[in-house]
Structure 1
C-alpha cells in the first residue's frame, strides 16, 4: 500500500481525516508523539497479530499494552506478533 493508496482510501472512506506526512521517524510511539507534538497516549498504534490461522490488526492507544490472558480468553489462543515480512505479506504495507 503506497502513500497515494492510503490517501485515496481516506478520501473515499473518511474525507474529514487528514493524512499527515512528516520527515521525522514514527517508528516508535515516542518518536511519533514527538514528531506530532502530542502525548504518547494520543498516538494510535497498530499491532499485527496471528492467532492460529487468523491474522488481525489491533489499533490501540500508544501507551496501551496487550493483556495476553484476556486476549487468550477472548480468542482461544495466545497471540503471536508477525515478523516484518509477514506484515508486508498480510497488509501490503510495512
Structure 2
C-alpha cells in the first residue's frame, strides 16, 4: 500500500512519470544504485529518528552518515533511530522503501546538505523496488521538508 500512496502523491504533483520500478531489490543504497544505474552517493536515503516523541525523517546522500555531534547540536538530543516496526507504524512505509511521499501526518522531514552536491538524486518511492529521479530542489518541494540541515558527514570529512 505504501508504494501506491507514494506514487499517487507524486502523480498528483506531476512527477509520476519520474517513478521507476525494478524487478530487483532497491532496499539498500548499494542495491538501489545498481537498479537505478548511478553511484551510491546519489541515492537519497531516508533515516528515521524519534526526537521528543516526534518521528523525524532526514534524507541524506547515500554515502553520508549521521554525525552524532551535529545531530545533537541541531536537535538537542542524542540520535535514536526508529526500529523497523516503529518505522512501519509511525512513518507508514517499510524499511527499504522509506521516502517522504505519502507518509503519515506528524512526521517532520528534513533534508541534509549532503544532497546538494548533486544535480539529480534518487529517493525510494514507498517500496523496496522503486525510486524517483529528482533534483534536490524538487525533493525539497515535494517532501514538505521543514528545512535543509547539516547533521551528516560524508566520507571525505573527518569525524
TM-score w.r.t. length of structure 2: 0.55
Greater than 4 Å deviation, 4+ residue runs? none
Q: Which entry has the higher C-alpha Rg, 1 or 2?
A: 1
User: Displacement, 1:54?
Assistant: 1.7
Give 2:7's aligned residue: 7
> Distance between the aligned counterparts of 2:58 and 2:64, measured in 1?
11
Which protein has the bigger helix share?
Answer: 1
TM-score w.r.t. length of structure 1: 0.90
> Distance between the aligned counterparts of 1:11 and 1:5, measured in 2?
10
**Aligned pair count?**
94
- Name which structure has the greater RCO, CA cutoff 8 Å, separation 6+: 2
Q: Unaligned stretches of 5+ in structure 1? A: none
Give 1:37's aligned residue: 37
> Distance between the aligned counterparts of 1:4 and 1:52, measured in 2?
30
Give 2:89's aligned residue: 89
> Pairwise mapping of residues 1-94 of structure 1 onto structure 2 (< 5 A)?
1-15=1-15, 18-94=18-94
CA contact (8 A) 2:7 2:16 kept: no
Superposition RMSD in Å: 1.5
